Structures are given as C-alpha cells and as structure tokens.
Structure 1
Amino acid sequence: MKRLIVTADDFGLVREVNDAVEAAHRDGVLTAASLMVAAPAARDAVERARRLPSLRVGLHVVLTEGAPVLPASDLSHLVDGRGMLRSDMAALGATLAFSRRARRQLAAEIGAQFEAFRDTGLTLDHCNAHKHFHLHPLVGRLLAEVGARFGLRAMRVPLEPTRVL
C-alpha cells in the first residue's frame, strides 16, 4: 500500500506557521512537521505537537539563515558578524569543503540541535535541513552520523522541480 506523507517545514519559526501546521493536521491534510528547535516560536510548536499525538514531528536542522543553538563564539566559521548562521550557502559549502575546523563546528551544531530536540520529549520521526541543505553531501552525511546517535531512522528527501531548489 502506498502512502503519501505531507510534511510542513519551519514548525516553530513563528506562531502563524504553527497555526497553519495545527489547522492542516486537524483537517487531515498534513502528516508531519519539521521543528526548528532554536526558532522564536519553538516552545509553542512543541506544546501544540504534544496536543496532537498523531502529528509526526522531525528535526528541521537550521545551518543557514537562523540562530544557532550553540554560542556564536563556538561557531566562528558558521556565523556572521551578528552571531547568526550565515545566509550564503555556496560560500558556506566552500568553507566546509576546505576547513576541518568548520566541519567540526558544523558537527557540533548539528549535535546540539539533535540534543535540543531530544530535550523536548517528542519522538523523533525524521530530519531534514532548512533550505534543503541536507542535500549537500557533507551535511547529509553528518546528519545521518550524528542523527544515528539520537535514533534517527529517516531523512526527508524533497521532490520539487529543480528550478525551486
């Protein structure tokens, strides 16, 4: 039997996204959501997920365009001057390719986000990354390696037209 899984990203980004996730799940449209653990409305998203036991929740790992879980001072290769995760994914990809220190920082931040998810008490259904960054071979490998320590069994692969990516 084939089954369609409909997943919403950015759960926890803002209350309006959380409202939409909850409504879509209650209406039977949405199967799963991916939680941004360091986002402004993450606590609200976790509370909603607890009230919706049939909503499968995964970790939406944020490695670009967001706040890190670890202190910015520990992530010098990954953050900008404001302490936010860098927005230029191409430059970040190049940094990761050539800097062992950047890769160590990336692995540490990924681990911190998995730990933060574990601390919610929610069951980890899957993971993916903001802006589909988990499709980068190094990022995908680290997510799989680090995630395995937290019981990760599935990583979402998007099916979208290439012009969107």
Structure 2
Amino acid sequence: MKQRKERSKMKLIINADDYGITMRVSEGILQGMKQGLITDTSALVNSVHFEKSSAMALEAGIRAMGVHLNLTFMSPVLEASAVQSIVDESGRFYRKPGLIPSSYDAGEVRAELKAQIEKFLASGLTLNHLDTHHGVSVKDAQMLDIVMELAREYNVPMRRDDILSPELKGKIADAAGIRSTDMLCGDPAMPTLQESWFRGVLEKYKDTESIVEIAGHPGFADDELRSVTSLVDEREQDLALLMNPALREYVMEQGITLISYSQL
C-alpha cells in the first residue's frame, strides 16, 4: 500500500439513505457499513420494515443513525385525519415535494416529523442527525424552518439540504445552534454514484479542512423494492462502489478521515 498522506484534514461522511425501505436494502446498507465505506445511514421510520430493520442494526452493533424525515413515501406515522393537509384522498403522502399543497398546515408537518423522530427513539437507536427524503426540507422556507427547529430541539446535526436550493442556500450554514457539514455532494441528475465523480469530489476537497457528506442509495434490490420505488438496480451499483476495496484504499492514501454524523 502506498504511504498515507498526512497533509489532508478533510473529513468525509458517506451516508446511505432509505434504511428500512425494505429488508434487503437494510441488509445491504449494514454490509456496507461493516465492510465498506458507508459511515452512516438514515431510516425511513414510517416503513413497515422499520422495526425489524432497527433491531437488525442493533444486533449488528450499529447503535446510532439518522432519521430520513419523510413526507413523500407511503403513509404517515400519525393518523391521516391528523395530517390532512399533507396526505391525498387515500391517506397517503404525495409522491414528490412539489405535489404537497403549498397551503399545508405547518403544525401538522411538525407533528408528523416529530412523531417519526419519537418512533425512531423508541426503537432503542440513538439519533445522530436529521435529513429528508426527496429533500423535502427545501420545499420552501417554512418547511426548512420546521426541520431546523427539530434539529435544535433534539440537539442533533442536520444535512445541508439548503445547498440544493438557490433560494435557501446558506441558511443552515448561517443558523445558530445547528451543526452540519460544510458541503453536501450529489448530482440529482445522476441516479447512481459514479467512481469518477466520487474520486473527483475527493480530489476537490482532500487538501482542505472541509467536512463533506456524500449521500447515496446503496442496498440489495428485490421485487418488493420494485413495487415501492423506481430506484432499484441503481442501489446495487451504489453498494458495489462503496464496497470497492480499491476505492477505500484510495481514501486512506489521501489521509481523508471517515466519520459519521455522531462525530460532528
């Protein structure tokens, strides 16, 4: 192995979104955390597989993760009648942030997201950050304020979703009392993590003191996953990349420190 470089002070979080969406995705994420480059994950608490997935994480020695706050997948944790402004006629969430009515009730949103956090905490896992499914936190300024308020209330870091919005960019970085990374790296037009892109991110920041998050969607695909999302085979590609020993060796050679949100 090449000599490890000492000059780099870059810290890198590699977060796996959608823990619990299916058991096979959860299994893949845990494998990537134990044997690969994944340093953190965030759970879809309203998934029917959350309880089994959380127990599986604890059994594997994973004690902390984030909540993937969600208003766009499946059904709410609360009764649909309690959150009528953010569900459709069938009582399910709208599938995209842009479909959530702009007249949504902020109190209902806050209550549902808080219920997701409390359900997570009841599992025995430790909450180490908040992030959001489909970047729903940057739907508008009010939504971002709600998530920021919850990050303060639970005293945990949150993802730099504001980087995804020209109108809201910098809001989290400037907010008092909220810990976060310096940068969230991802390309919405890129359905999978590409090795050339991944190495490019490391090249860009490796000689800086930046704390960077790369978010992906690793996991194992199956028919159940196909029934609930269009992002299926791409997850196995992400997992393969993050399990690549040569890529891990490259990260180590550059002196980049792998961390989780627990270390912010």
TM-score interval for Structure 1 and Structure 2 normalised by the shorter chain? 0.7 to 0.9
Unaligned segments of structure 2, at least 5 residues: 1-8, 161-183, 192-264
2:75 corresponds to which residue? 67
Which of 1 and 2 has greater Rg?
2
Q: CA deviation at 1:36?
A: 1.0
Q: CA deviation at 1:28?
A: 2.8
Which is further off, 34-43 or 50-59? 50-59
Q: CA deviation at 1:56?
A: 4.0
User: Residues 45-56 of structure 1 correspond to what in structure 2 (within 5 A)?
Assistant: 45-54=53-62, 56=64
Q: What CA distance in whole angstroms lies between the structure 2 residues aligned with 1:132 and 1:93?
A: 16
User: Residues 67-146 of structure 1 correspond to what in structure 2 (within 5 A)?
Assistant: 67-92=75-100, 94-96=102-104, 102-136=105-139, 137-146=141-150
Question: CA RMSD of the aligned region, Å?
Answer: 2.0
Which consecutive segments of 4 or more residues in structure 1 shift more than 3 A?
Answer: 52-56, 162-165
Change (3 A) 1:88 1:35: closer
Q: Percent sequence identity over matched residues?
A: 25
SS at match of 1:38: coil
Unaligned segments of structure 1, at least 5 residues: 97-101
Change (3 A) 1:77 1:45: same
TM-score after normalising by structure 2: 0.56
Q: CA deviation at 1:84?
A: 0.8
Change (3 A) 1:74 1:164: farther
Q: CA deviation at 1:49?
A: 1.9
Q: CA deviation at 1:135?
A: 2.6
SS at match of 1:77: helix
Q: CA deviation at 1:139?
A: 2.1
